[in-house]
Structure 1
Amino acid sequence: MTLTWKLVIDSNNAPALADFWAEALGYVVEDPSALIEQLLAAGHLPEQAVTEHNGHKLFRGLAGVRHPDDPYDETSGVGRGRRLLFQDVPEPKSGKNRLHIDVHAEPGDLDKQVARLEKLGATRVNEVDQGPAGHWWVMQDPEGNEFCVA
């Protein structure tokens, strides 16, 4: 039996980081506005638990992105497949990631992909050269989380 999962990434600004990763991966930013409106109307959610970003209501401190081809719940906007959830935490990042995302460029497009990600706000950290096995770039997203582009 396989399990359903999502990758949760600690952040300082979940909506902004979700925007970056949605653009970087070609994913869709989840829109929980309908669910939030229902919860507010029923009195099950206090106003202070809600924020707005890009014209959508979000749960404060949370934002998700999902693969555009995967199924999702239409009321909550939550993906049921490949999904990243960003959650704000009070403490800053304090070391190297133990888990990271690899972004795969099309053959011959590594430099183009790295440049595109830099325009979105990523930073190059270092190039890793494996000789005949190829090379890739270690980069950081706008909050300093490491990822690779190969």
Structure 2
Amino acid sequence: MGSLVRHVTIDCADPHGLAQFWAQALDGALGEDDNPGDEEAVVESAGVSLLFIRVPDGKSVKNRVHLDLQPQDRSRDEEVERLVALGATVLGDHRTPDGKGWVTLGDLEGNELCVERSQAERSQAERIATGDA
């Protein structure tokens, strides 16, 4: 049997602060024993476990790996607004007039993430494309 991914690990300057952002973004929970100033912090959510580890060097280039988020109970645009209100910044807008595409955001430390259309938006677009709308 192969391995399982236990955590997606993100190097950062402020593990607790960044974990708080991601816990809110993913409707997850910060580890019970994670406190400000700790060297690491964990966020558990329905879809993924994220581990944030303090490192001395800052982010200097584009991420080679990033998270793609698909909203569950709101539209892509509503989710982008919610994440920006939590402190994310818009890095690139790749939405197209036909409703496809995504928005690239930076978290509190500039790590890239993308927000895609919700499943409801995808299903609606498919119904329109097939004439079932």
Q: Mark yes or no: TM-score above 0.5.
A: yes
Structure 1 runs (4+) deviating above 6 angstroms are none
TM-score, structure 1 as length reference: 0.69
Name the CA distance, whole Å, in 2 between partners of 1:121 and 1:108. Answer: 18
Residues 1:147 and 1:4: Cα distance change in structure 2 (over 3 Å): same
Counterpart of 1:11 in structure 2 is 12
Q: Which consecutive unaligned segments of at least 5 residues does structure 2 have?
A: 117-133
Q: Which consecutive unaligned segments of at least 5 residues does structure 1 have?
A: 34-51, 70-80
Q: Which of the numbers 111, 114, 119 marks the counterpart of 1:145? A: 111
Please state if 1:66 is matched with 2:44: yes
- Summarize deviations over 1:100-132 as a string: whole Å, max 9, x none: 001102487111100000010000111114565
TM-score, structure 2 as length reference: 0.77
1:39-118 map, 5 Å = 52-53=35-36, 60-67=38-45, 82-106=48-72, 109-118=75-84
Higher strand proportion (structure 1 or 2): 1
Counterpart of 1:36 in structure 2 is none
Q: Look up the equivalent residue of 1:9 and give its one-letter code.
A: I
Name the CA distance, whole Å, in 2 between partners of 1:82 and 1:107. Answer: 18
Greater Cα shift, 128-137 or 110-119 = 128-137
Q: Look up the equivalent residue of 1:24 and give its one-letter code.
A: A
Name the CA distance, whole Å, in 1 between partners of 2:69 and 2:48. Answer: 14
Name the CA distance, whole Å, in 2 between partners of 1:93 and 1:146. Answer: 11
- Summarize deviations over 1:80-113 as a string: whole Å, max 9, x none: x831000010011010000000110248711110
